[in-house]
Amino acid sequence: MVCYRLANPDFRHIFLCQDIYYLSGYALMEMSAWGKKLISVNELKCLLIEIREKQLDICFRYRLLGEMWCDSFYRILHVTDHGAIFIDEIKGQVVFLNSLFNIMQFELDVRFQNFEPHYHYEVSPVVVY
């Protein structure tokens, strides 16, 4: 059985144990058996788009499958159909990520919705429709 944690905008949490993938007005995050927070690739893409569209001062750091964490947090420049383009403001470089499916973990530098800063969120390789 998979449990889900729904967080409303007031950050009060509700736990459900059923197959729910979308509930209007609430952010959805799957909890694994070890208590780690899982997010699908589609939800990650929506998160990046929302941060970019609202032009928030939030930076993003990720770890690719089989690699170490990025050195610094990146600002989101653009989100494509399958990947993203980031700016490393410390090094002054543009970083191209061809596929979001290669991300296995990520973190944000500040709180956004129900995402805590500097918490390592796991990305589920399964696409949820």
CB 104 within 8 A of CB 122: yes
CB 51 within 8 A of CB 63: no
DSSP of 101-127: GGEEEEEESS-BTTBPBT--EEEESSP
| Max CA separation in the chain (angstroms) | 46
Kindly report, residue by residue over 66-97, the tens digit of the pLDDT.
899 998 999 999 999 899 999 998 999 999 99
Closest by CA to 121, choosing from 43, 58, 49, is 43
Alpha-carbon Rg of the chain, whole angstroms? 15
Residue reference for tokens 């700016």: 87
The band of 6, judged by pLDDT with boundaries at 50, 70 and 90, is very low
**Higher-pLDDT residue of 125, 64:** 64
Domain ranges within the chain, ordered by starting residue: 37-124
Residue 21: pLDDT over 60: no
Residue 12: pLDDT over 60: no
Give the C-alpha separation, 100 to 97, whole Å: 7
